[in-house]
């Protein structure tokens, strides 16, 4: 019998970052298994441990498992074939092993001996089950690496006690090995493991990531002047400040999966490193670096005096700057030294191109502040058509920035920047007001205004005043709430689900339509969406390419449509570019579509002429 419980398989697919050192993931793969700060001592986590049992007597295996299950353990791997034990250990990497000694074919001693030869298995704590009380046997087992003993037949309370002690000792040992004692942060070794894991994951995700190396200036001098005790305190304070940036990055991140969580670690005495496993664009790392600089810059109060310190930050981005841990750490270090030489308290990318881009974004950010007052924003409109009749039934407002020097800047270039610089709320308000005014303008021109959709950023959502803001804008412009809908993305809902439901319900009560944008790009399941009062689901345009290729994944599109309908949501396909896609969507009951096949986003005048049957005389443009 070789039995691997299904739970284990599930856990192997998603390395667990939340749990502390007692992850279900094997030691060698516990690359991000510990939390970002000092792990909690919560012993209940011990019960998440994966327990492996080897005993030639299946009944013993069964009985031991029942005892352990009763105590709260749930992850088991077992075999009654000692010949298979080492291979199973190798593939399963349990947190603890219960090993019988006397077995036909291969004894527990032999298995311990083989484990000792394998580096990966040396650390697996092993409780040896032995009927013998003879000291010689125990000594031999200890020499071979056993951690503890248990007499057979197994007494349940003794078993549970031994198990708990063994796992607690392992947790303590892991913690010493993986965390920095002074700051409680993951140490260099953990950082490298997590980086390795992030690099493994990067190709699958197709998004860049970055490592930031942060080195304090003149720490040795400060340490000599203050003395080691205050020097230590300063390092703890710095770790705390950078930790705040880390948490902010976590909250603001669009990527809410475990493997995307950032890490801050202490690499050496005055050197910290931050791992950003997933970024929407490589130069986003600059914003994080900027925040770290700001966090470190404000004075520290230490030993009754104020102290100001500076640092240099080097950034290496993967995949571009390397795809192995050595290259990334080395290149981040090269960039860090460069930063220190170039300018006090600054950051540098390893890549020249990214430095130039970060600089461009910096000036873009400065200009962005003036965009509204200089009246440089414009809304374009893209029609949404009914799939059965082909008629225009709505439109989506898409913002553009018309800059005198940079030209037409698309939302992908500046929305994120507006979010990072805190300008998004005023931008969002401008967009909503302009869209509502457009509805009124079309109506005053005697046209039937189509249902209008505007995109809302997650930051506007986090503000939680969105319903109030919208109410005010609707009042001021006189637009009918029923003609307005908002588009939100999956990431927003996942972040703060309960509060979001409340905001969505408020909006819905006002009569505003709620639409889930870009569905399929995030991580939420359709059933999860059921908890939100959504009216419409927009299938992300990346799925249209799948339809084009007639690939297997076109089945996903039809499944999304069917499921969304069963939840009484209307389905809109985004990015429809050709007849083939349209026919597929029609055949599968999609309700509406939007895409270049009908039109690119256009100015309101063109929209009115082409889709609302307007005829304007010269000088009579409503925009
Ligand atoms: P989105 O809401 O998913 O908007 C659809 C995007 O797909 C638009 O890009 C549109 O031009 C493009 N598109 C439409 N049909 C096709 C097609 O057939 N093929 C292809 N390849 N693309 C198509 P755009 O205007 O560049 O906007 C990009 C994203 O920026 C939007 O994605 C939305 O998330 C965001 N955005 C746009 N305007 C605003 C805004 O006012 N506020 C906020 N917060 N975000 C906005
Ligand atoms: Mg949209
Ligand atoms: Mg979309």
Give me ligand 1 centre to Cα 290, in Å.
28
Report the candidate in 399, 426, 551, 419 with the shortest Cα–Cα distance to residue 487: 399
Residue owning tokens 């082909």: 390
Q: What angle do CA 493, 496, 498 make, to 5 degrees?
A: 95
Nearest ligand to the C-alpha atom of residue 594: 1
> From the alpha carbon of 489, which atom of ligand 1 is closest?
34
Judge contact between 293 and 177, C-beta under 8 A: no
Tens digit of each residue's pLDDT (9 = 90 or more) over 315-337: 999 999 999 999 999 999 999 99
Range scoring the smallest mean pLDDT among 43-52, 228-237, 303-312, 568-577: 43-52
Q: What percent of the chain has pLDDT over 70?
A: 89
Return the CA Rg of the chain: 30
pTM for the whole structure: 0.61
The stretch 228-246 carries a mean pLDDT of: 94
Distance CA 350, CA 316 (A): 5
* Residues 581, 436: Cα–Cα separation, whole Å: 32
Q: What pLDDT is attached to residue 61?
A: 95
Ligand 1 atom nearest 576 alpha carbon: 18
Contacts of 438 (CB under 8 A, 6+ apart): 379, 381, 397, 449, 452, 604, 622, 623
Query: What CATH code is assigned to 362-611?
Result: 3.20.20.450
Question: How deeply is 160 buried, as exposed, middle or buried, from its count of CB atoms within 10 A (0-12, 13-18, 19+)?
Answer: middle
pLDDT tens string 597-619: 999 999 999 999 999 988 765 54
Tell me if 19 sits within 8 A of 25, measured CB to CB: no
Ligand 1 nearest atom to the CA of residue 424, by list position: 44
- The residue whose CB lies within 8 Å of the most ligand 1 atoms, and thus the one to mutate among 492, 574, 595, is 574
Annotated domain spans of the chain: 2-178, 188-350, 362-611
Show the ligand 1 pocket: residues with CB < 6 angstroms.
Answer: 382, 398-399, 410-412, 415, 428, 431, 455-457, 487, 517-518, 541, 574-577, 594-596, 601
Q: Which CATH superfamily is domain 188-350 in?
A: Reverse transcriptase/Diguanylate cyclase domain (3.30.70.270)
Query: To test ligand 1's pocket by mutation, which of 371, 411, 460, 461 has the most ligand atoms within 8 angstroms of CB?
Result: 411
pLDDT in tens, 406-464: 889 999 889 988 987 889 999 999 999 999 999 999 999 999 999 999 999 988 877 76
More confident residue, 489 or 347: 347
Residues with CB under 5 A from ligand 2 (ion): 455, 487, 517
Out of 378, 398, 473, mutate this one to test ligand 1's pocket (max ligand atoms within 8 Å of CB): namely 398
Angle at the Cα of 554 from the Cα atoms of 549 and 559, rounded to 5 degrees:
175
Atom 22 of ligand 1, residue of closest alpha carbon: 575
Return the residue whose CA atom lies nearest to atom 10 of ligand 1: 601
d(CA 612, CA 616): 12
Q: What's CA 52's distance to the chain center, in Å?
A: 31
CB 582 within 8 A of CB 390: no
Cα angle 190-122-102, degrees, rounded to a multiple of 5 = 150
CA distance 563 to 557: 10
Closest residue to atom 42 of ligand 1, CA basis: 455
Closest by CA position to 395, among listed 450, 457, 432, 447: 450
Contact criterion met (CB below 8 Å) for 523 and 256: yes
> pLDDT per residue over 156-168, tens digit each?
999 999 999 999 8
Nearest Cα neighbor of 311 from 249, 239, 226, 263 is 239
Tell me which ligand sits closest to the C-alpha of residue 394.
2
Residue 154 is given by DSSP the state: P
In the reported structure, the alpha carbon of residue 411 is separated from the centroid of ligand 3 by a whole-number distance in angstroms of 12
DSSP letters spanning 86-115 = HHHHHHH--SEEEEES--SSS-HHHHHHHH
Confidence band for 294, pLDDT divided at 50, 70 and 90: very high
pLDDT grade, residue 293 (50/70/90)?
Answer: very high
Q: Whose CA is nearest to atom 20 of ligand 1?
A: 575
Q: Is the pLDDT of residue 497 over 80?
A: no
Say which residues have a Cβ less than 8 Å from residue 292's Cβ, sequence separation at least 6: 212, 214, 242, 245, 274, 311, 313, 347
Ligand 1 centroid from CA 398, angstroms: 6
| Separation of CA 200 and ligand 1 centre (Å) | 31
Range picked from 28-37, 81-90, 355-364 for highest mean pLDDT: 81-90
Please tell me the distance from the alpha carbon of residue 264 to that of residue 243, in angstroms, as a whole number: 7
Ligand 1 atom 12 nearest Cα: 575
Residue 32 in this model has a pLDDT that exceeds 90: no
Bridge-based pairing of strands 377-386 and 392-403 is: antiparallel
Neighbours of 239 (CB within 10 A): 20
| One-character DSSP codes across 358-420 | HHHHHHHHHHHHHHTTTT-EEEEEEEEEETTT--EEEEEEEEEEEETTTEEE-HHHHHHHHHH
Neighbour order of strands in the sheet with 75-79:
2-4, 75-79, 50-54, 96-100, 126-130, 148-151
Q: Which atom of ligand 1 is nearest to the CA of 574?
A: 15
Residue with tokens 């492996």: 52
Distance 383 CA to ligand 2 centre (A): 12
The closest ligand to the CA of 515 turns out to be 2
Mean pLDDT, the chain, as a whole number?
Answer: 86
Specify the residue for token string 């200890």: 142
Q: Where are the alpha helices (DSSP H) in 588-622?
A: 604-611
Residue with CA at minimum distance from ligand 1 atom 43: 455
Q: Whose CA is nearest to atom 17 of ligand 1?
A: 575
Query: For residue 405, what pLDDT is reported?
Result: 86
Instruction: Please tell me the number of the ligand nearest to residue 431's CA.
Output: 1
Distance 283 CA to ligand 3 centre (A): 23
d(CA 186, CA 261): 14
> Does 403 have pLDDT greater than 80?
yes
Cα 486 to ligand 2 centre (Å): 8
φ/ψ region of 93 (left if φ > 0, alpha if ψ in -120 to 50, else beta) reads: left
What single-letter DSSP state applies at residue 19?
S
User: From its phi and psi, is residue 390 left (phi > 0), alpha (psi between -120 and 50) or beta?
Assistant: left
Residue 429 pairs with which residues in a beta bridge? none
Q: Which residues pair with 314 in a beta bridge?
A: 213, 348
Tokens of 36: 């970002």
Q: Please provide the CATH number assigned to the domain covering 2-178.
A: 3.40.50.2300
pLDDT of residue 260: 84
Q: Whose alpha carbon is nearest atom 21 of ligand 1?
A: 575
In the reported structure, the alpha carbon of residue 541 is separated from the centroid of ligand 3 by a whole-number distance in angstroms of 7
How many Cβ atoms sit within 10 Å of the Cβ of residue 333? 19
| pLDDT in the model for residue 319 | 93
- Name which residue sits closest to atom 3 of ligand 1, judged by CA: 518
Q: Give strand ranges (E) for 131-258.
A: 148-151, 209-216
Mutate to test the pocket of ligand 1, among 394, 416, 434, 455 (most ligand atoms within 8 A of CB): 455
Nearest to 45 by CA among 73, 14, 7: 73
Compute the distance from residue 427 Cα to the ligand 1 centre, in Å: 16
Among 45-49, 140-144, 495-499, 607-611, whose mean pLDDT is lowest? 495-499
Q: Which residues pair with 128 in a beta bridge?
A: 99, 149
Q: What is the pLDDT of residue 550?
A: 58
How far apart are alpha carbons 312 and 414 in whole angstroms? 27
Q: In angstroms, what is the span from residue 572 Cα to ligand 3's centroid?
A: 10
Which of the four pLDDT bands, split at 50, 70 and 90, describes residue 529? confident
Q: Which atom of ligand 1 is nearest to the CA of 457?
A: 44
């Amino acid at each position: 019998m070789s039995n691997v419980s299904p739970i284990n398989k599930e856990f192997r697919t998603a390395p667990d970052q939340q749990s502390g050192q007692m992850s279900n993931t094997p030691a060698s793969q516990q690359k991000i298994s510990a939390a970002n700060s000092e792990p909690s001592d919560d012993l209940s986590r011990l019960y998440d441990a994966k327990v492996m049992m080897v005993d030639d007597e299946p009944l013993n295996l069964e009985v031991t498992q029942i005892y352990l299950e009763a105590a709260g353990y749930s992850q088991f791997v077992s075999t009654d074939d000692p010949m298979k034990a080492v291979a199973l250990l190798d593939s399963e990497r349990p947190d603890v092993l219960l090993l019988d000694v006397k077995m036909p074919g291969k004894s527990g001693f032999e298995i311990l001996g083989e484990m000792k030869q394998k580096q990966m298995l040396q650390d697996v704590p092993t409780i040896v089950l032995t009927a013998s009380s003879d000291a010689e046997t125990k000594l031999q087992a200890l020499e071979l690496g056993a951690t503890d003993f248990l007499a057979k037949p197994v007494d349940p309370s003794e078993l549970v006690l031994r198990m708990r002690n063994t796992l607690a000792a392992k947790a303590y040992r892991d913690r010493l090995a993986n965390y920095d004692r002074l700051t409680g942060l993951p140490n260099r070794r953990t950082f490298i493991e997590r980086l390795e894991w992030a690099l493994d994951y990067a190709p699958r995700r197709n998004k860049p990531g970055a490592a930031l190396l942060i080195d304090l200036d003149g720490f040795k001098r400060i340490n000599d002047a203050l003395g080691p005790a205050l020097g230590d305190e300063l390092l703890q304070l710095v770790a705390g400040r950078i930790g705040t940036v880390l948490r902010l990055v976590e909250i603001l991140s669009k990527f809410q999966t475990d493997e995307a969580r950032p890490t801050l670690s202490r690499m050496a005495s005055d050197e910290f490193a931050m791992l950003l496993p997933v970024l929407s664009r490589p130069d986003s790392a600059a914003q994080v670096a900027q925040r770290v600089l700001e966090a470190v810059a404000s004075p520290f109060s230490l030993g009754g005096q104020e102290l100001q310190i500076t640092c240099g930050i080097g950034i290496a981005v993967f995949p571009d700057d390397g795809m192995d841990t050595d290259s990334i750490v080395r290149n981040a270090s090269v960039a860090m030294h460069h930063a220190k030489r170039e300018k006090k308290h600054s950051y540098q990318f390893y890549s020249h191109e990214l430095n130039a881009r970060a600089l461009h974004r910096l000036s873009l950010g400065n200009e962005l502040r003036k965009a509204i007052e200089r009246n440089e924003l414009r809304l374009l409109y893209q029609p949404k058509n009914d799939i059965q009749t082909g008629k225009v039934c709505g439109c989506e407002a898409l913002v553009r920035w018309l800059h005198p020097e940079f030209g037409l800047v698309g939302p992908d270039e500046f929305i994120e920047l507006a979010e990072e610089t805190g300008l998004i709320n005023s931008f969002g308000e401008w967009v909503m007001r302009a869209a509502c005014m457009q509805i009124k303008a079309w109506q005053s021109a005697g046209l039937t205004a189509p249902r209008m959709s505007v995109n809302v950023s997650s930051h506007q959502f986090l503000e939680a005043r969105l319903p109030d803001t919208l109410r005010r804008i609707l009042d001021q412009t006189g637009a009918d709430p029923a003609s307005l809908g908002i588009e939100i993305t999956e990431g927003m809902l996942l972040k703060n689900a309960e509060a979001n439901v409340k905001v969505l319900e408020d909006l819905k009560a006002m009569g505003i339509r709620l639409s889930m944008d870009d569905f399929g790009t995030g991580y939420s399941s359709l059933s999860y969406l059921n908890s939100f009062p959504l009216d419409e689901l927009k299938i992300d345009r990346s799925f249209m390419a799948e339809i084009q290729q007639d690939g297997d994944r076109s089945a996903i599109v039809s499944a999304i449509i069917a499921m969304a309908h069963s939840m009484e949501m209307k389905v809109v396909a985004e990015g429809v570019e050709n007849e083939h896609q349209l026919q597929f969507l029609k055949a599968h009951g999609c309700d509406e579509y939007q895409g270049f096949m009908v039109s690119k986003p256009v100015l309101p005048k063109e929209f009115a002429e082409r889709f609302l049957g307007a005829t304007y005389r010269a000088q009579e443009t409503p925009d």
